[in-house]
């Protein structure tokens, strides 16, 4: 038989039922889950009028399998909510999805899925058990399992199976565009299931629903969800501009030489296309008046020079970089595991935008940890010919200045961070700052950066509002946040 998605039993799942009566401990635990869900909504000032909580699906019938979930549906009344009645179902479904992702609940090893439905959208199932009234609303019948057209089912499953396998083979967590492809596949798969169960002729044994179960039971759906989570996590992380590992998590070949003892920087390979042009002697007019030297710097000296550009102390920059453990591990792997040199770090005091700033903080931090903070490494030092200074002078200035940020400097830093949030309103008084209407991805980035500054205190952020015009396939609306903190002067 092609499918294991169909099984027929002579009794209900006795892990959950005692005969045909739901076990008291199961019912009590469902009530606790419901109360926890309602408490979360109440904390967000979201009203939900519960009409009932029901157990439905395969585990409320005779056709459960080892892969069947426990389907709990909270039935909500929305008619009394007047003008907002159309929005609330979306809010409920969004929070149900968030709740399910946050708490992986199971009964005796059986996963529990939480849904919120309204009275206007009745649940269709062979069996429906009321938790509130502790009785069957619709007692299940011992259905006769229909003869499944195996050829038709196999033909229906194959394109979905092939597409899932192709996505898993094609994508990895270094490909942010993969999130949309996986989202699209999962959304279409769930729509297929809904069509099979809830259309006029739909039922548990429809080809559409059985196709969904075959993909789920084969583990393909979970693998895609896991991969999507990795892609999103990677997308929300901050990396060094240079990617040291390729899509197969192996060293990306920049043509660097092999490592020999402490000779771990390739002075022929720069960090960016523009700095590589300088190394190659480009005559591009954009670089007129720009000069460079390859100098020897310890990691500590490098960060002292960085502090002149970034208006942060060397210690603050080092502390900032230390949080990015994943990228630091990757860089160390290039040397220790793949025995390849790293591209040449640079630091630039030039006014030419193409070669301004620096690249290499993660590299220099990793080298400091591996070989010692007082070990010299080659660095590309870029300046404008007209204002060029000896390295000794630049280092002396960096050390002597001490770079204690003034009140204006610290305010300017927070304002610059606020600009990342697309110039959203910034309120600031007596060192207290507040950013409003910050997008979710930006909020996480901004808070992480602010918390890493030793002179920023009490940074907190909280959900401010939802944008229901932008919904993901899970029904989760886009969130906007308020960020509040205090600058210590």
Which pLDDT score is estimated for 382?
94
Which pLDDT score is estimated for 182?
87
**Residue 401 CA neighbour count, 13 Å, CB half:** 20
Which stretch of 124-133, 299-308, 430-439 has the lowest confidence by average pLDDT? 430-439
The residue-averaged pLDDT of 136-154 equals: 82
pLDDT at 260 over 60: yes
At which residue do the structure tokens 């700052």 appear? Answer: 433
Each residue of 18-27: pLDDT tens digit? Answer: 999 999 999 9
Which pLDDT score is estimated for 402?
46
Which pLDDT score is estimated for 347?
93
The bridge status of strand 426-429 relative to strand 342-344 is unpaired
pLDDT at 114 over 60: yes
Each residue of 323-334: pLDDT tens digit? Answer: 677 778 888 888
At which residue do the structure tokens 């008084």 appear? Answer: 429
| pLDDT band with cut points at 50, 70 and 90 for residue 144 | low
3-class SS of residue 132: coil
Instruction: Give CA–CA dist 436/442, Å, rounded.
Output: 11
Contacts 24+ apart (CB under 8 A), 24-30: 26/107, 27/131, 27/134, 29/107, 30/55, 30/72, 30/131
For the chain, which residues make up each domain, given as ranges? 17-138, 150-235, 265-401, 407-487
Q: pTM here? A: 0.44
pLDDT at 314 over 70: yes
pLDDT at 120 over 80: no
3-class SS of residue 67: coil
Each residue of 181-236: pLDDT tens digit? Answer: 888 888 788 778 777 765 545 467 788 888 888 888 888 888 888 888 777 777 66
Who has greater pLDDT, 9 or 240? Answer: 9
Each residue of 67-101: pLDDT tens digit? Answer: 788 989 998 887 766 655 567 777 887 788 778 77
Who has greater pLDDT, 391 or 273? Answer: 391
Instruction: Give CA–CA dist 102/20, Å, rounded.
Output: 32
The residue-averaged pLDDT of 293-306 equals: 92
Q: Which two tokens stand for residue 83?
A: 């003008």
Looking at the structure, give the CATH architecture of the domain made up of residues 17-138.
Answer: 2-Layer Sandwich (3.30)
Which pLDDT score is estimated for 119?
76
């Amino acid at each position: 038989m092609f499918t294991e998605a169909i099984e027929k039993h002579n009794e209900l799942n006795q892990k959950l039922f005692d005969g045909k009566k739901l076990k008291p401990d199961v019912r009590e635990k469902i009530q606790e889950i419901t109360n926890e869900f309602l408490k979360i909504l109440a904390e967000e000032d979201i009203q939900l009028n519960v009409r009932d909580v029901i157990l439905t699906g395969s585990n409320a019938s005779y056709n459960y399998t080892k892969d069947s979930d426990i389907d709990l549906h909270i039935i909500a009344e929305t008619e009394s909510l007047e003008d907002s009645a159309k929005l609330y179902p979306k809010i409920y479904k969004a929070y149900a999805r968030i709740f399910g992702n946050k708490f992986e609940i199971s009964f005796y090893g059986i996963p529990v899925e939480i849904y919120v439905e309204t009275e206007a959208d009745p649940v269709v199932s062979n069996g429906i058990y009321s938790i509130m009234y502790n009785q069957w609303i619709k007692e299940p019948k011992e259905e006769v399992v229909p003869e499944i057209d195996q050829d038709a089912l196999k033909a229906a499953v194959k394109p979905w199976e092939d597409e899932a396998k192709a996505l898993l083979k094609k994508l990895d967590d270094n490909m942010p565009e993969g999130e949309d492809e996986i989202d699209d596949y999962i959304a279409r798969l769930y729509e297929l299931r809904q069509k099979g169960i809830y259309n006029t002729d739909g039922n548990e044994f429809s080809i559409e629903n059985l196709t969904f179960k075959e993909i789920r039971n084969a583990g393909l759906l979970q693998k895609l969800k896991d991969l999507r989570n990795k892609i999103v996590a990677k997308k929300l992380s901050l990396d060094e501009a240079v990617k040291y590992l390729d899509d197969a998590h192996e060293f990306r070949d920049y043509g660097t030489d092999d490592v020999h003892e402490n000779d771990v920087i390739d002075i022929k390979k720069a960090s960016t296309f523009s700095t590589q042009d300088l190394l190659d002697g480009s005559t591009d007019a954009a670089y007129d008046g720009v000069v460079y030297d390859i100098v020897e710097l310890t990691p500590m000296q490098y960060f002292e020079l960085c502090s002149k550009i970034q208006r942060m102390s060397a210690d603050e920059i080092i502390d900032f970089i230390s949080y990015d453990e994943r990228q630091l591990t990757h860089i160390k792997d290039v040397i220790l595991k793949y025995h390849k040199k790293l591209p040449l770090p640079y630091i630039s005091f030039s006014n030419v935008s193409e070669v301004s700033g620096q690249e290499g903080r993660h590299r220099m931090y990793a080298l400091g940890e591996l070989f010692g903070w007082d070990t010299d490494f080659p660095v590309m030092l870029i300046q404008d010919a007209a204002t060029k200074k000896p390295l000794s002078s630049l280092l002396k200035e960096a050390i002597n200045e001490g770079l204690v940020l003034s009140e204006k400097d610290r305010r300017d830093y927070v304002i610059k961070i606020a600009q990342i949030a697309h110039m959203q309103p910034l309120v600031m008084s007596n060192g207290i700052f507040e950013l409003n209407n910050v997008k979710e991805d930006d909020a996480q980035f901004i808070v992480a950066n602010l918390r890493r500054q030793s002179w920023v205190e009490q940074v907190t952020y909280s959900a401010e509002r939802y944008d229901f015009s932008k919904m993901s396939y899970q029904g989760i609306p886009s969130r906007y946040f308020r960020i509040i903190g205090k600058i210590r002067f």
